[in-house]
């Protein structure tokens, strides 16, 4: 946690860290295996921090939209958890995978039950749950994200969704494989379509930071007093982010950064310090694990400079 009584000039700290990480500007690669994402400018960098008492601090390209990709899996998990309750854990686990996010091998060994909701298989099961509960899944999911971010300017990027669909053979294999184990209840094509669209949601760092703020406040939006989750459920979502939010680099993020968070291959990272703030960082170049190269380094330096960590 942040040392008691300490206040920071966050914008000054952002500038200092950005200067320190200039030599990282050319490291990593954009997610070119998704055709639409390979066109993004790899030099983009933005950050936005929102405090529980409604102070905002930004830097760089914080207001520019980008594809949040797997960060959206946090929102889909929350919405499914609200509807399904604790029985959701009968269909998806809460353990780190230790395997690539699109692995089939582990899924076979564990009889169609994904390790956690943030690997692709787990997010597909969560998508299946939402389709069972929601009358208009795409519309209702988007409305939920807009509610969390307090913004009606959030939309799907159809081109990104269709691009992912055109290269989604492994995701198709995952959902059909789980169907064979009885862990997919709806039509696999419908599940895949919804999954590709939820990953295509576009937000900026300002909206993303705002959308995660309730997770820093025991499940209640501190700016609207809207109760999104119970404190108990919020605690569990934060725990899953801490353990599983960064593919098979979650342990490294916990070790170096010390915040619950979630990354996406669009280059975004969202994280929270419970009781203090939420923060979103965007830098499109990815490391070998699929996480933002500069974003990971930035957050490591940020929590070190501010002495802010859950540990």
What is the 3-class SS of 181-192, one letter each residue?
CCCCCCCHHHHH
Confidence of residue 4 (pLDDT cuts 50, 70, 90): very low
The reply, when asked if residue 171 is annotated as ligand binding, is yes
Question: Is there a shared CATH topology between the 1-64+204-310 domain and the 68-203 domain?
Answer: yes
Look-up of token digits 């956690």: 116
The reply, when asked if residue 90 is annotated as ligand binding, is no
Distance CA 257, CA 311 (A): 10
Asked if residue 52 has pLDDT above 50, the reply is yes
The reply, when asked if residue 139 is annotated as ligand binding, is no
Distance CA 302, CA 48 (A): 12
Per DSSP, what are the bridge partners of residue 277?
51, 273
136-170 tens-digit pLDDT: 999 999 999 999 999 999 999 999 999 999 989 99
The reply, when asked if residue 195 is annotated as ligand binding, is yes
The reply, when asked if residue 57 is annotated as ligand binding, is no
The reply, when asked if residue 84 is annotated as ligand binding, is no
- Confidence (pTM): 0.94
Q: Which CATH superfamily is domain 68-203 in?
A: DD-peptidase/beta-lactamase superfamily (3.40.710.10)
Residue ranges covered by each domain of the chain: 1-64+204-310, 68-203
The reply, when asked if residue 41 is annotated as ligand binding, is no
Tell me which of 101-105, 107-111, 275-279 is least confident.
101-105
112-121 tens-digit pLDDT: 999 999 999 9
Correct CATH for 1-64+204-310 of 3.40.50.300, 3.40.50.920, 3.20.20.210, 3.40.710.10: 3.40.710.10
Please classify residue 310 by burial: count the beta carbons closer than 10 Å to its beta carbon, then call 0-12 exposed, 13-18 middle and 19+ buried: middle
The whole-number average pLDDT for the span 203-213 is: 98
């Amino acid at each position: 946690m942040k040392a008691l009584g300490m206040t920071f000039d966050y914008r000054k700290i952002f500038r200092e860290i950005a200067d320190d990480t200039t030599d990282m500007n050319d490291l990593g690669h954009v997610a070119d295996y998704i055709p639409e994402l390979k066109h993004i400018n790899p030099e983009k960098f933005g950050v936005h921090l929102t405090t529980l008492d409604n102070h905002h601090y930004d830097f760089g390209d914080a207001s520019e939209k980008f594809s949040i990709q797997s960060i959206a899996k946090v929102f889909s998990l929350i919405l499914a958890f609200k509807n399904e309750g604790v029985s959701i854990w009968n269909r998806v686990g809460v353990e780190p995978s230790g395997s690539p996010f699109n692995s089939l091998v582990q899924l076979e060994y564990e009889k169609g039950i994904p390790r956690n909701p943030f690997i692709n298989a787990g997010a597909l099961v969560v998508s299946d749950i939402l389709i069972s509960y929601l009358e208009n899944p795409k519309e209702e999911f988007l409305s939920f994200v807009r509610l969390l971010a307090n913004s009606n300017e959030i939309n799907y990027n159809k081109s990104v969704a269709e691009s992912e669909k055109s290269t989604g053979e492994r995701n198709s294999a995952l959902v059909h494989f789980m169907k064979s184990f009885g862990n997919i209840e709806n039509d696999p094509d419908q599940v895949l379509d919804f999954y590709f669209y939820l990953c295509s949601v576009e937000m900026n760092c300002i909206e993303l930071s705002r959308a995660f703020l309730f997770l820093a406040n025991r499940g209640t939006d501190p700016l609207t007093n809207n109760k999104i989750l119970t404190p108990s459920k919020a605690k569990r979502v934060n725990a899953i982010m801490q353990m599983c939010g960064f593919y098979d680099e979650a342990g490294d993020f916990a070790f170096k950064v010390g915040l619950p968070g979630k990354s996406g291959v669009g280059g975004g990272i969202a994280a929270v310090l419970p009781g203090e703030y939420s923060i979103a960082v965007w830098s499109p170049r990815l490391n070998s694990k699929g996480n933002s190269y500069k974003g990971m380094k930035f957050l490591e330096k940020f929590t070190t400079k501010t002495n802010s960590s859950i540990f």
